[in-house]
Amino acid sequence: MRSLLIRNSNLLILGVLILLITGCSVSPDTVVESPDGEIRVAFNLNDAGAPAYEVFYKDQPVILSSSMGFDFKEMPSLKEGLKILDINFNSEDKTWPMPWGERDSVRNQYNEMHIALEETQAPNRKINIVFRAFDDGIGFRYEFPDQPGMQEVLITDEHTQFNLSGDHRVWWQPGDWDIYEHLYNETNFSEIDAISKRNDPNLKATYIPENAVNTPVTMKTSEGIYLSFHEADLTDYAGMTLKVDTSNNSMVSELVGSERTGGKAVISAPFNTPWRTIQIADRAGDLIESTLVLNLNDPNIIGDVSYFTPMKYVGIWWEMHLGKSTWDMEGSQSMNTFTKSGEIRPNHGATTENAMRYIDFAAENGIKGLLVEGWNTGWDKWINTDDREGVFDFMTPYADYDFDKVMAYAREKGVEVIMHHETSAAPLTYEKQMQVAYQFMKDNGMNSVKTGYVGKIIPKGEYHHGQWMVRHYHKVLEEAAKMKIAINAHEPIKDTGKRRTYPNAIAREGLRGQEFNAWSADGGNPPDHLPTVAFTRMLSGPIDFTPGIFNIRFDEYKPDNRVMTTLAHQLALYVVIYSPIQMLADLPEHYTENGKIHPALQFIRDVGVDWSESRVLSGEVGQFVTIARKERGTGNWFVGGITDEESRTEVIQLDFLEPGKTYRAALYKDAADAHWDSNPQAYEITSMDVTSEDSVEVILAPGGGFALSLMQK
């Protein structure tokens, strides 16, 4: 307590000093610093009583003075005419355990500045702004304290500005209100053009109203500082896109709207908005190691989640995306939209026999989970129209899928079946069936479900990322938690660190996943896709990317599509792209070679899915990244590295290994003549004994990668 007081008074003195130095005597300036003193946030009210903030890193401005404010329906704006009622400083330094994750525990250390503001004139509304400064960045949010006239208020705009200090290099995707499944673009800030990303032929729902970007959006300044903008704890509010002013190096919050309310978010005081977050780092890899977004969420409120154990899984899934089989049993045209339009091929994937084949494969290879898509009725009726309510039923299996027999066989073989609920973006139908559907899962020993929201949201006028859907996704987490069920959402709301509070939120999609390689009109994800995702989408949370395609070209099924990486790159993804569930996405037959298991499958059999430590060894946004992770329980280490279309040499110092111990290393790397385009499946495996004194040199082919297992002897 004592040290806390001292620290706070130091901060106050600092605030006063800055006030004197800047000579800004009229407006009360207030400052809060990160615990290591490198990051500083300054708040001030100008003469008109308008709030603004600035952010400094190592004494250099990274966010220039930026304004804040709100517009409402049937109420004046709240942007100026404010005075400071009270300022409070606070600090915290606590460590919290992760039930599963990239590390055992997270240190939550920050200094906070809480500013209470009030309008000087009637209606004398109150608003607080809270800043938290961490060593890895800052967060701030608005609080509407309990007060008259603040019930069921419709926010029509939030104006949080982010004035950048230059025309930074930016890795961005359009501010789409309906989907995050875009490729990332790398341009200077002044060249951002989200409008040109409209009409993506691959997307069934997309809406890009402005020249805006989605978050996380990552930048590099000309001084070599990395910044990433996002939000934390999005629970009952609209998702935030950032509208860009390319002439001014400036961004402003643009909340996702609703045509039904004509606004952005309905709030009732007391109410806190999500945190607006800015990660700040000298090294690109530090963005990945940052825990800022998680720390800005509340602690676990659902208790024990040991019903979920991190796992690898196989699935009746890729075969439908390849067009080898169908989701529906009837052979209708409807769900063949992912394959070839108009083709009628009754060739149901989710049959009893096929499920048993996957179970055998999983059991033989020590893979815990099996996902079965297309097991339930409704897929034949899923026509991509507005009439999608009541299409899916989450209890009734197709006639050729003997649900009880599959479940009994899985149990006998020690395999856990993962439920699949495709809602077809009809959340009201899902909400009606949710409880019964979750009870059905529990009655059958199922602990996790992959949900999906393909298509335009019903009711019309709502968007995947608006408040109405944010509430739905949250309700799913809450209801599932009550039933001890874990959620892996596809077409989700972006992750904002909710897994800290609800650790049954195990993974999400929310990016252009592996499936695009099977059917996208542009041929697939380019080699720099995942080296970009690691520094953008991955900063928000675990990704169900579904790695592990060995049959890179699959000409037998889709001659015009392919995976644009090498096989070794696919192996590396089990380490690089974090998720507590990792799919072996390819067909079981592609994991065998000459009747024996494919030699490279050994890495996937060995690799961990739950970590006590994670370290980013090297990386540059959009170019390459190498990550080392230590498996919980065993102490084995796994390293994965990927590159874009450039070949690279990486030297991995093994100094993270426990000194004095010998590890058996197996290196899975690109063959000397490997190339993502011309020779993607050429790989080599070498083994050796190593200690913490050793290093490993490896050459990554264009579009290539490597995977290294380090098992204790």
Residues that bind ligand NOJ (CB under 6 A): 317, 373, 422, 452, 454, 490, 509, 515
Secondary structure in 3-state letters for 204-252: CCCCCCCCEECCCEEEECCCCCEEEEEEECCCCCCCEEEEEECCCCEEE
Binding partner of 254, given Ca ion, ligand NOJ, none, CB within 5-8 angstroms per partner class: none
Query: Residue 285 CB, nearest distance to ligand NOJ (Å)?
Result: 28
Query: Residue 452 CB, nearest distance to ligand NOJ (Å)?
Result: 4
Query: Residue 420 CB, nearest distance to ligand NOJ (Å)?
Result: 7
- 3-class DSSP state for residue 18? helix
Give the residue from 565, 567, 528, 549 showing the smallest Cα distance to 321: 549
Q: From residue 422, how far is each of 335, 347, 451 by CA, in Å?
A: 12, 19, 6
Query: Residue 488 CB, nearest distance to ligand NOJ (Å)?
Result: 10
Tell me the H-state helices in 608-704.
Answer: none
**Residue placing its CB nearer to Ca ion in the complex, 117 or 511:** 511
Residues forming beta bridges with residue 244, ordered by sequence position: 251
Cα 675 off chain centre by:
29
Query: Residue 528 CB, nearest distance to ligand NOJ (Å)?
Result: 22
**Residue placing its CB nearer to Ca ion in the complex, 285 or 427:** 427
C-alpha to C-alpha distance for 112 and 32, rounded to whole angstroms: 7
Contact string (CB under 5 A) for Ca ion, positions 467-506, x = contact: -----------------------x----------------
Residue 449 tokens read as 């479900």
DSSP summary character for residue 337: G
Q: Write the CB contacts of 584 (distance below 8 Å, at least 6 apart in sequence).
A: 312, 313, 314, 365, 367, 548, 591, 604
- Subset of residues 515 to 544 that bind Ca ion, contact rule: CB under 5 A: none
Residue 262 tokens read as 């004509």
Kindly give the pairing relationship between strand 695-700 and strand 683-690: unpaired
Query: Residue 337 CB, nearest distance to Ca ion (Å)?
Result: 13
Query: Residue 422 CB, nearest distance to ligand NOJ (Å)?
Result: 4
Angle, alpha carbons 555-561-564 (nearest 5°): 105
Give the DSSP H/E element, type plus range, for residue 497: none
Binding partner of 136, given ligand NOJ, Ca ion, none, CB within 5-8 angstroms per partner class: none
Q: Write the CB contacts of 345 (distance below 8 Å, at least 6 apart in sequence).
A: 326, 331, 336
**Residue placing its CB nearer to ligand NOJ in the complex, 452 or 548:** 452
Binding partner of 452, given ligand NOJ, Ca ion, none, CB within 5-8 angstroms per partner class: ligand NOJ
Give the DSSP H/E element, type plus range, for residue 475: helix 467-482
C-alpha to C-alpha distance for 603 and 611, rounded to whole angstroms: 16
Binding partner of 89, given Ca ion, ligand NOJ, none, CB within 5-8 angstroms per partner class: none
Give the residue from 436, 444, 455 showing the smallest Cα distance to 393: 436
Q: Is 515 a catalytic residue?
A: yes
Contact between residue 345 and residue 335 where contact means Cβ atoms under 8 Å apart: no
- 3-class DSSP state for residue 374? coil
Query: Residue 455 CB, nearest distance to ligand NOJ (Å)?
Result: 9
C-alpha to C-alpha distance for 637 and 606, rounded to whole angstroms: 10
Residue written as token pair 């893979």: 367
Number of residues engaging Ca ion in binding (CB under 5 A): 1
C-alpha to C-alpha distance for 40 and 383, rounded to whole angstroms: 53
Binding partner of 422, given ligand NOJ, Ca ion, none, CB within 5-8 angstroms per partner class: ligand NOJ
**Residue placing its CB nearer to ligand NOJ in the complex, 163 or 339:** 339
Binding partner of 182, given Ca ion, ligand NOJ, none, CB within 5-8 angstroms per partner class: none
Can the peptide bond before residue 123 be classed as cis, meaning omega within 30 degrees of 0?
A: yes
**Residue placing its CB nearer to ligand NOJ in the complex, 585 or 621:** 585
Query: Residue 422 CB, nearest distance to Ca ion (Å)?
Result: 10
Query: Residue 444 CB, nearest distance to ligand NOJ (Å)?
Result: 20
Handedness of CA 10, 13, 19, 22 (dihedral sign): negative
Binding partner of 314, given Ca ion, ligand NOJ, none, CB within 5-8 angstroms per partner class: none
Kindly give the pairing relationship between strand 39-45 and strand 30-33: antiparallel
What residue type is 271 in one-letter code?
F
Residues forming beta bridges with residue 707, ordered by sequence position: 640, 668
Contact between residue 709 and residue 665 where contact means Cβ atoms under 8 Å apart: yes
Query: Residue 327 CB, nearest distance to ligand NOJ (Å)?
Result: 7
**Residue placing its CB nearer to ligand NOJ in the complex, 42 or 322:** 322
Kindly give the pairing relationship between strand 648-653 and strand 637-643: unpaired
- Subset of residues 259 to 318 that bind Ca ion, contact rule: CB under 5 A: none
Handedness of CA 455, 457, 461, 467 (dihedral sign): negative
Residue 561 tokens read as 């599509």
**Residue placing its CB nearer to Ca ion in the complex, 126 or 490:** 490
**Residue placing its CB nearer to Ca ion in the complex, 137 or 492:** 492
C-alpha to C-alpha distance for 455 and 388, rounded to whole angstroms: 10
Binding partner of 388, given Ca ion, ligand NOJ, none, CB within 5-8 angstroms per partner class: none
**Residue placing its CB nearer to ligand NOJ in the complex, 54 or 509:** 509
**Residue placing its CB nearer to Ca ion in the complex, 125 or 490:** 490
Give the residue from 128, 137, 108, 116 showing the smallest Cα distance to 41: 137
Query: Residue 264 CB, nearest distance to ligand NOJ (Å)?
Result: 27
**Residue placing its CB nearer to Ca ion in the complex, 490 or 508:** 490
Residue 512 tokens read as 């252009």
Please count the helices (runs of H) and the strands (runs of E) in the chain: 12, 39
**Residue placing its CB nearer to ligand NOJ in the complex, 480 or 698:** 480
Catalytic residue (choose from 515, 631, 645, 650): 515
Which positions are annotated as active-site residues?
515
Residues that bind Ca ion (CB under 5 A): 490
